[in-house]
Amino acid sequence: MANPAKKTVFAPWDDTNEKPLITFEGVTKKFGSFVAIDDLNLQIYTREFFALLGPSGCGKTTLMRMLAGFETPTQGRITLAGQDIGPVPPNKRPVNMMFQSYALFPHLTVWDNIAFGLRRSDMPRDQIPARVEEMLRLTRMEKFAQRKPHQISGGQRQRVALARSLAKAPKLLLLDEPLGALDKKLRHDTQFELMDIQEKTGTTFVIVTHDQEEAMTVASRVAVMNQGKVVQVSTPDRIYETPATAYVADFIGEVNLVEGVASPNPAGGYAIAWAEGQAPIVSACDKSIAQGARVSFAIRPEKVRITPDRPEGAQNAMQGKVHDIAYLGNISTYHVLLPTGQIIKAQTANSRRVENREFTWEDDVWLSFTDTAGVVLTE
C-alpha cells in the first residue's frame, strides 16, 4: 500500500515467485508418424486468459485436447497445479471445456444442460438449483431455462455452452474456437462478454483460435504456434510490436518484410543494406547480430509515413510510385512500388474526404519511418 496510485499490472509470467498453473515439459504428441506437437514447453499462470493462435493443423487443438484429457502425450509431462495429469481421465480433471460445436445435449433443457456436470460432482443436491440460477444470470439466459437447445439462437447456445462449462467452477476452462460459429458483429460483442466473465469468475481461460484479432482482443498472453511448435509467447502488444520471427510478423496483422544484410552502426543499432543504389535502412535494434548476417526487416504499414515530398530529417526515406490503393473506410492502404521492384505497404487514417486526398494512382511519393518503427528479424 506504499503507493496506492500505482496500478498493479497483471503479469505473473514476469514474476519469478509465481508458480505456473499449467506446465508443459517437453511434450510431444505423434499420430502415427505425424508429429502434431513437437517437444513443447509452456507455462500458463492462474487467472490468465491465454490464447493459442495458429493456422489449422498447427497443433493448437491437440494441445487443448491434451489439457482436457482426450489425448495423452506420446512423451513429456503436463502438470496442473503441480500434479502430473497424464494418467488422469477427463472426468476426473478439474478442467472443463467449451466445444467448438457447443455440444449441448439436445435432449435436455438449458437448465438441465447446465446442471448436468453439477449432478455428477460432489455438490450437495440442494445447492445445485442455486448454482444453475447463478450461471443463468451470469450469461443472461434466465428466460430460456426451460428451452431445448434447438429452440434458442446460435448466440444463446454459445452462452449456454459457456454457462455449462463454468458451472463446476473449474480451475481451468478450455475454449475451442468458441466464437467461430457466430457472425462478425455478435462475435465482437461476445469477445468483450467473455473477458468480462473471465474477470468476474477469476477462472484461468485457455482459448484456441485461428483468428488473430480475436486472440489479440481477449488474451492476456498469446502463444503463436506453427507446425507443432510454439514460435512466440508474449502479450498481444509485444507479439505485434516485436515479433520473434518473420512467421509471427506475417501471421499477426499486415507487415512489410525487407530482406537484407545487417552491419552494426558505431553509434548503436544496425544499417541494413537491402538493395543496390538505395540507402541502407537504419534501425535502432538492441539485439546482437553478427556483421554481414542475413536479416529481415519487418515494419507495419501503419508505421510507414507516406508524403508527397521527402520529409525533413527522416531517418529512413525511400521514393516510389503509388501502385494500388485499398480504401477501407476509416483507413487506406497504399501499395507503393519501389524502383527495386518491391512493394511497400503504407497505411494512413482517412482524416480527409476521399476526393481530397493528396495522392492517387501513379503519383510519386516518399515513404519514411523512424529508426525504432521496425524490427530486425534474424530468422
Partner 1 sequence: MRRFSWFNATSLTLGFLFLYFPMVILVIYSFNASKLVTVWGGFSVKWYGELFHDQAFLDAAWVTLRVALAASTLATILGTMAAYVMVRAGRFTGRTLFSGMIYAPLVMPDVITGLSLLLLFIAVGLDRGITTVVLAHTTFAMCYVSVVVSARLVSFDRSLEEAALDLGCSPWDAFRSVTLPIIAPAVISGWLLAFTLSLDDLVIASFTTGPSSTTLPIKIWSAVRLGVNPEINALSTIMISIVTVGVITTSILSKRNAVQRMRDEQKAQQA
- The site for partner 1, by CB under 8 A, has a size of 30
Find the binding residues for partner 1 in span 110-129 (CB under 8 A). Answer: 116-117, 120-121
Out of 91, 288, 351, 356, the residue judged to bind partner 1 by CB under 8 A:
91
Q: Taking CB under 8 A as the rule, does residue 89 contact partner 1?
A: yes
Q: Taking CB under 8 A as the rule, does residue 201 contact partner 1?
A: no
Q: Taking CB under 8 A as the rule, does residue 273 contact partner 1?
A: no
Out of 6, 7, 125, 150, the residue judged to bind partner 1 by CB under 8 A:
150
Q: Taking CB under 8 A as the rule, does residue 90 contact partner 1?
A: yes
Q: What dihedral angle (degrees, nearest 10) is formed by the CA atoms of 141, 146, 149, 155? A: -20
Q: Using CA atoms, how far apart are residues 375 and 356, in angstroms rounded to an integer?
A: 33
Out of 21, 97, 162, 336, the residue judged to bind partner 1 by CB under 8 A:
97
Rg (CA), the chain: 25
Instruction: Name the grid cell of 129.
Output: 438449483
Compute the least distance from the CB of residue 109 to partner 1, in Å: 13
Compute the least distance from the CB of residue 204 to partner 1, in Å: 16
Q: By C-beta, is 80 or 306 nearer to partner 1?
A: 80
Out of 23, 139, 156, 158, the residue judged to bind partner 1 by CB under 8 A:
156
Out of 128, 152, 181, 195, the residue judged to bind partner 1 by CB under 8 A:
152
- Region from 151-159, 238-246, 261-269, 331-339 binding partner 1, contact rule CB under 8 A: 151-159
Q: Taking CB under 8 A as the rule, does residue 168 contact partner 1?
A: yes
Q: Using CA atoms, how far apart are residues 67 and 255, in angstroms rounded to an integer?
A: 33
Compute the least distance from the CB of residue 154 to partner 1, in Å: 8
Q: Taking CB under 8 A as the rule, does residue 95 contact partner 1?
A: yes
CA 185 from chain centre, in angstroms, equals 19
Q: By C-beta, is 112 or 371 nearer to partner 1?
A: 112
Out of 151, 268, 287, 294, the residue judged to bind partner 1 by CB under 8 A:
151
Find the binding residues for partner 1 in span 50-69 (CB under 8 A). Answer: 68-69
Residues near partner 1, by CB under 8 A: 68-70, 89-91, 95-97, 99-101, 103, 105-107, 116-117, 120-121, 147-148, 150-153, 156, 164-165, 168
